[in-house]
């Protein structure tokens, strides 16, 4: 007998203490009730006669004390969760990891999916585990890992709660030392599987043609034009593929493709003729096992030029940059001639800030001591950018890690979005309402204006101010967007449950599609596409099965302690019954 | 009159005594006179027998009519009337203070009733309170007017001591008592054995009548669980676990004990009546009458 909750020594001590206590209590003299009788003469005779039958009397005592000890031991020992291998099967902790990557949705020859095969194999493992086994269900999404349980029903229920996600699979962090870990996977896209994990493969070759890239971006030579980069891969046998790209109006592009095995179609498609809105790329082919990668989405912003007023005493970098920007109608003035104008879409203040906030968004270069901005609280010398918000629209395609800054103002950034910061002070901050962006350093005291990312950053700032943006691209799964308290809806207006975490809005989806997040005036399209060659290549399995589910034979279907408590209850009932009939003492 | 006396022998009790007295006369009417007679021939008025005249006999008792017919001197014999001593041995040991009502109270009532009948029949009534010896005794009483003295004696007989009937009866009988009717009212819970006590009375040729009193609690004890039984006479305690089988064994033993007393009485032709304290005492007294020993 082994104990799962106690060492052998502890179990022995517990048994000894329990038995000793029960026997001690049993022999403790209970004060008998005194009853006066007329004469003990007849009782004496009866009791003397009983003494002749003292063997029976002794037996009663022995049986009584034995019953009490057995009941106490059953209860005490059940706390230690004892195991007897031939009764309850082998004691083991089994962790079952199911691959929940999108490729598990691939259809198999029998008309089911790899996921359904995986669930069936997991059920086999659960059913085959002995009653002493503790089971834990986990997945590769990195979000779900149920605790260990001995309850088979609970384990099966946990299994039913899982489904393939859209995210790249990653092996969960599990304690591999004290448990047997089974991985049930098709082996597609899963890396870093521990050697000690027992692998069960549900891989089966299947046909799949997938859109592996779909990205809409501005045409460099035509500021108001867009192009889309599209890649279609055939991971199965040669197939005829019909490609359709549709816009929000009746715009569409159609291609009939013939793709050989493992062949790819890659093309830059001109979308200049498309009106703004959702753009959908879709492929159709016969005998395709995975549907999730047959469609991809993007968003075409509606472009127009931004009337921008630059207020500066002279800054060649900015003036030149804004002049050459075809999206910008630039007007320039000096701080002393600055006046608010209703025609202006955006203001750029260089080393100057008016005492009151302008009626339109403003980009402020260099900190200024005015009320509507944050007042400088000192100066920081040679700050290095240590953190930046990768996901913020302002930072798209903007590398900032190697910017050199001579000095920057120290400000309090509470209630502001910090776009980039050093250890000592924020360096780029943004305010949602009123909308403005501020550099806490002067362009003349840094090399930011000389960096390749600077024009992109300025373009991002102006776009963030006034223009619709390109959709941010995300894979399915847990999606974080850089908008606080945003309401998320699908392209056709259905609300999606979301939450706010640390200034971002988070929502979950496994469905590729275009989602729109809105927070006040801010509006952000999100293109959720699988477009991942690693996951779409469903015939590239790196998993070799190295085990089969072991069926443990056992007499009992639950842990031994359950039967021990049950036996104790039965014995207590028997003892109660016999005690009240004076069979036991 | 003490309070105990008032309770035990109240007006209701006295009415019952009168009733019993009448009932006793009705039961034995036509059989013999209410007063007792002895076998001893004497100077009474009642003719008993004839015998031949021998020298020295009283001429006044010669039957001259028989002489004329038979030409023989024949002497008439008359029965001598003599009062019969009745000894009431009332057990007042501690064990008699048991039961509801107490066996001693019941014994007092029974003894008082029988005493009254005896006094009414002009018998010489003696009452002896005993336990492990003679605790107290009332000198012979005669006539109904002495009943209150008997009440007082019985009321004063407090329960105490162990039962030892042999020692008690021996102590009393060895004092040259006349033979008579010995009525023993007791629970017979005598560690020395009831037989030895009754043997003493038999030895002194008393006519014996046994009234065995038991309480309902003794016959059917309602005991359960772990108990310490304390003997009311000796205060000796014994711890027992009362089981249904033990209770059954006790009941069997009690029945066996009662049967042994009854068999003893049957064997030596002693009168025997067994009763429980919840049985109406007047009924018991009538049962005693019906046995025919008490009134002759």
Bridge partners (DSSP) of residue A431 are: A436
How many angstroms separate the CA of residue A83 from the nearest CA in chain B? 40
The number of beta carbons lying within 10 Å of the beta carbon of residue A118 is 25
Please judge whether B244 and A36 are an interchain contact, meaning their C-beta atoms are less than 8 angstroms apart. no
B57 domain residue, yes or no: yes
A229-246 confidence digits (pLDDT tens): 999 999 988 999 999 999
How many structural domains are present in chain A?
4
B260 domain residue, yes or no: yes
Burial annotation A425-442 (CB, 10 A radius, 16+ → b, else e): bbbbbbbbeebbbbbbbb
State whether B57 and B144 are in the same domain.
no
State whether A333 and A390 are in the same domain.
yes
State whether A432 and A496 are in the same domain.
no
B264 domain residue, yes or no: yes
Q: How far apart are CA B203 and CA B18, in angstroms?
A: 35
State whether A19 and A107 are in the same domain.
no
How many angstroms separate the CA of residue B82 from the nearest CA in chain A? 41
Enumerate the residues of chain A whose CB falls inside 8 A of the CB of residue B253. Answer: 42, 45-46, 49
Question: Which of B93, B107, B160, B228 is the mutation pick for testing A, counting most A CBs within 10 A?
Answer: B228
Looking at A80-176, list the stretches that DSSP marks H as alpha helix, in order from N- to C-terminal side. Answer: 85-88, 114-128, 152-160
Q: How far apart are CA A476 and CA B249, in angstroms?
A: 86
State whether B159 and B12 are in the same domain.
yes
The chain B residues in contact with chain A (CB within 8 A) are 95-96, 98-99, 103, 163, 187, 189-191, 215, 217-218, 221, 223, 225-234, 236-246, 249-250, 253-254, 257
Last residue of a domain, one of A466, A486, A508: A466
A213 domain residue, yes or no: no
State whether B139 and B73 are in the same domain.
no
CATH number, domain of B107, equals 3.40.50.410
Please judge whether A35 and B231 are an interchain contact, meaning their C-beta atoms are less than 8 angstroms apart. no
Give me the phi and psi of A335, to 5 degrees please. -60, -40
State whether B192 and B125 are in the same domain.
yes
How many structural domains are present in chain B?
2
Name the residue among A119, A142, A133 with its Cα closest to residue A180.
Answer: A133
Confirm if A104 and A118 have CB atoms less than 8 A apart. yes
Confirm if B129 and B157 have CB atoms less than 8 A apart. yes
State whether A360 and A374 are in the same domain.
yes
B296 domain residue, yes or no: no
CATH number, domain of A145, equals 3.40.50.410
Q: How far apart are CA A524 and CA A59, in angstroms?
A: 86
CATH number, domain of A439, equals 3.40.50.880
Give the count of alpha carbons within 13 A of A362, CB side only.
24
Q: How far apart are CA A52 and CA A442, in angstroms?
A: 113
B285 domain residue, yes or no: yes
> pLDDT-based confidence at B9, cuts 50/70/90?
low
State whether B190 and B241 are in the same domain.
yes
A257 domain residue, yes or no: no
A148 domain residue, yes or no: yes
Helices and strands of chain B, counted as H and E runs: 10, 10
Among chain A residues, the shortest Cα distance to B224 is held by: A582
Enumerate the residues of chain A whose CB falls inside 8 A of the CB of residue B92. Answer: none
Q: Residue B59's domain spans which residues?
A: 37-81
State whether A314 and A444 are in the same domain.
yes
State whether A484 and A375 are in the same domain.
no
B272 domain residue, yes or no: yes
State whether A40 and A114 are in the same domain.
no
A269 domain residue, yes or no: no
Burial of B22 (0-12, 13-18, 19+ CB in 10 A): exposed
State whether B142 and B226 are in the same domain.
yes
State whether B252 and B269 are in the same domain.
yes
What's the complex ipTM? 0.77
The number of beta carbons lying within 10 Å of the beta carbon of residue A256 is 9
State whether A340 and A444 are in the same domain.
yes
Q: Residue A518's domain spans which residues?
A: 472-527
Task: Among A36, A38, A581, select the one facing B187 at the smallest CB separation.
Answer: A38
State whether B44 and B20 are in the same domain.
no
B70 domain residue, yes or no: yes
State whether B18 and B74 are in the same domain.
no
Two tokens, residue A265: 């179609």
State whether B211 and B238 are in the same domain.
yes
B128 domain residue, yes or no: yes
Q: What is the pLDDT of residue A497?
A: 92
A414 domain residue, yes or no: yes
Helix (H) / strand (E) containing A265: strand A264-270
State whether B142 and B161 are in the same domain.
yes
How many angstroms separate the CA of residue A575 from the nearest CA in chain B? 15
State whether B59 and B203 are in the same domain.
no
State whether A410 and A521 are in the same domain.
no
A364 domain residue, yes or no: yes
Whole-angstrom CA distances from A269 to A284, A285, A294, A341, A469 are 18, 21, 18, 40, 19
Helix (H) / strand (E) containing B112: helix B103-120
Q: How far apart are CA A276 and CA A287, in angstroms?
A: 34
State whether A109 and A171 are in the same domain.
yes
Bridge partners (DSSP) of residue B132 are: none
How many angstroms separate the CA of residue A578 from the nearest CA in chain B? 11
Please judge whether B232 and A38 are an interchain contact, meaning their C-beta atoms are less than 8 angstroms apart. yes
Tens place of pLDDT per residue across chain A (585 aa)? 777 677 888 888 988 998 898 888 877 756 778 888 888 888 888 888 776 666 666 777 788 888 889 999 999 888 887 877 666 666 678 899 999 988 999 999 898 999 999 999 999 888 887 766 788 899 988 777 788 887 888 899 999 988 888 778 888 888 777 788 899 999 888 878 888 888 899 998 899 999 999 988 877 666 567 889 999 999 988 999 999 999 887 778 999 999 998 899 999 988 878 877 889 999 999 889 998 899 999 988 876 778 999 999 988 888 999 998 877 899 999 999 999 888 898 999 999 999 999 999 999 999 888 888 888 999 999 999 999 988 788 888 888 888 999 999 999 888 889 999 999 899 999 998 788 999 999 998 899 999 888 988 998 898 888 767 788 888 888 898 888 889 999 988 899 999 988 778 999 888 889 999 988 767 889 999 988 888 888 888 877 877 765 555 566 667 788 888 999 999 999 888 887 776 776
State whether A21 and A127 are in the same domain.
no
State whether A457 and A479 are in the same domain.
no
């Amino acid at each position: 007998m082994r104990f799962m909750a106690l060492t052998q020594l502890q179990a022995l001590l517990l048994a000894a203490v329990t038995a000793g206590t029960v026997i001690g209590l049993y022999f403790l003299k209970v004060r008998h009730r005194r009853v006066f009788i007329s004469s003990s003469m007849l009782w004496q005779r009866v009791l003397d006669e009983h003494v002749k039958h003292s063997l029976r009397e002794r037996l009663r005592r022995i049986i009584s004390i034995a019953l009490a000890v057995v009941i106490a031991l059953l209860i005490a020992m059940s706390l230690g969760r004892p195991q007897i291998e031939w009764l309850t099967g082998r004691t083991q902790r089994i962790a079952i990891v199911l691959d929940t990557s999108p490729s598990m949705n691939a259809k198999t020859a029998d008309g089911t999916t790899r996921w359904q095969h995986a669930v069936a194999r997991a059920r086999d493992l659960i059913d085959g585990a002995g009653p002493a086994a503790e089971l834990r269900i986990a997945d590769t999404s990195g979000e779900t890992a149920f605790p260990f349980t001995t309850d088979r029903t609970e384990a099966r229920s946990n299994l039913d709660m899982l489904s393939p996600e859209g995210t790249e699979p990653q092996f969960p962090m599990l304690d591999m030392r004290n448990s047997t870990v089974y991985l049930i996977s098709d082996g597609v896209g899963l890396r870093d599987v521990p050697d000690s994990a027992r692998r069960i493969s549900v891989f089966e070759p299947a046909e799949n043609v997938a859109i592996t890239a779909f990205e809409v971006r501005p045409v460099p030579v035509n500021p108001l034009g867009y192009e889309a980069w599209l890649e279609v891969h055939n991971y199965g046998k040669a197939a005829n593929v019909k490609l359709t790209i549709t816009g929000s109006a009746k715009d569409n592009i159609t291609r009939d493709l013939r793709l050989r095995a493992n062949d790819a179609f890659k093309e830059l498609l001109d979308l200049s003729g498309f009106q703004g809105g959702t753009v959908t790329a879709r492929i159709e082919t016969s005998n395709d096992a995975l549907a999730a990668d047959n469609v991809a989405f993007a968003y075409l912003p509606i472009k127009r030029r931004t009337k921008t007023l630059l207020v500066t005493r002279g800054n060649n970098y900015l003036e030149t940059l804004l002049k050459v920007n075809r999206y910008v109608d630039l007007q320039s003035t000096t701080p002393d001639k600055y006046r608010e104008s209703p025609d202006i879409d955006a203001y750029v203040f260089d080393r100057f800030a008016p005492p009151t906030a302008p009626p339109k968004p403003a980009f402020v270069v260099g900190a200024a001591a005015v009320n509507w901005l944050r007042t400088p609280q000192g100066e920081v010398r040679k700050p290095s950018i240590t953190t930046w918000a990768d996901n913020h629209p302002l930072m798209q395609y903007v590398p900032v890690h190697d910017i050199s800054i001579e000095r920057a103002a120290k400000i309090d950034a509470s209630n502001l979005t910090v776009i980039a910061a050093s250890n000592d002070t924020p360096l780029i901050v943004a305010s949602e309402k009123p909308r403005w962006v501020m550099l806490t350093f002067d362009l003349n005291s840094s090399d930011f204006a000389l960096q390749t990312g600077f024009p992109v950053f300025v373009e991002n700032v102006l776009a963030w101010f006034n223009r619709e943006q390109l959709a941010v691209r995300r894979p399915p799964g847990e999606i974080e967007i850089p908008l606080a308290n945003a309401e998320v809806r699908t392209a056709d207006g259905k609300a999606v449950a979301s939450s706010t975490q640390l200034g971002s809005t988070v929502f979950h989806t496994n469905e590729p599609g275009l989602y729109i997040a809105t927070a006040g005036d801010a509006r952000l399209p999100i293109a959720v596409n699988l477009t991942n060659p690693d996951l779409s290549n469903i015939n590239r399995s790196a998993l070799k099965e190295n085990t089969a589910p072991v069926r443990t034979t056992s007499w009992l279907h639950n842990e031994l302690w359950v039967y021990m408590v049950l036996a104790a209850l039965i014995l207590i009932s028997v003892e109660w019954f016999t005690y009240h009939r004076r069979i036991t003492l | 009159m003490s309070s105990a006396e008032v309770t035990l022998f109240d007006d209701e009790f006295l009415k019952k005594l009168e009733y019993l007295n009448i009932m006793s006369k009705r039961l034995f009417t036509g059989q013999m006179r209410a007063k007792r007679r002895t076998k001893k021939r004497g100077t009474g008025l009642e003719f008993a027998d004839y015998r031949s005249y021998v020298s020295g006999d009283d001429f006044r008792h010669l039957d001259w009519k028989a002489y004329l017919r038979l030409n023989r001197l024949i002497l008439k014999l008359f029965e001598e009337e003599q009062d019969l001593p009745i000894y009431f041995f009332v057990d007042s040991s501690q064990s008699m203070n048991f039961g509801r009502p107490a066996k001693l109270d019941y014994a007092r009532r029974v003894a008082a009733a029988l005493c009254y009948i005896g006094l009414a029949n002009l018998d010489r009534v003696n009452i002896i309170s005993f336990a492990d010896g003679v605790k107290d005794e009332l000198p012979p009483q005669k006539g109904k007017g002495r009943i209150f003295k008997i009440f007082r004696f019985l009321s004063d007989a407090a329960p105490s001591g162990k039962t030892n009937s042999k020692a008690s009866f021996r102590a009393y009988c060895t004092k040259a008592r006349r033979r008579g009717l010995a009525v023993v009212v007791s629970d017979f819970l005598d560690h020395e054995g009831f037989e030895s006590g009754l043997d003493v009375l038999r030895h002194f040729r008393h006519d014996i009548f046994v009234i065995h009193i038991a309480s309902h609690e003794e016959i059917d004890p309602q005991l359960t669980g772990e108990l310490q039984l304390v003997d009311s006479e000796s205060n000796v305690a014994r711890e027992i676990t009362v089981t249904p089988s033990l209770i059954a064994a006790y009941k069997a033993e009690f029945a066996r004990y009662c049967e042994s007393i009854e068999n003893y009485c049957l064997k030596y032709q002693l009168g025997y009546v067994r009763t429980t304290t919840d049985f109406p005492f007047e009924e018991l007294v009538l049962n005693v009458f019906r046995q025919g020993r008490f009134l002759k």
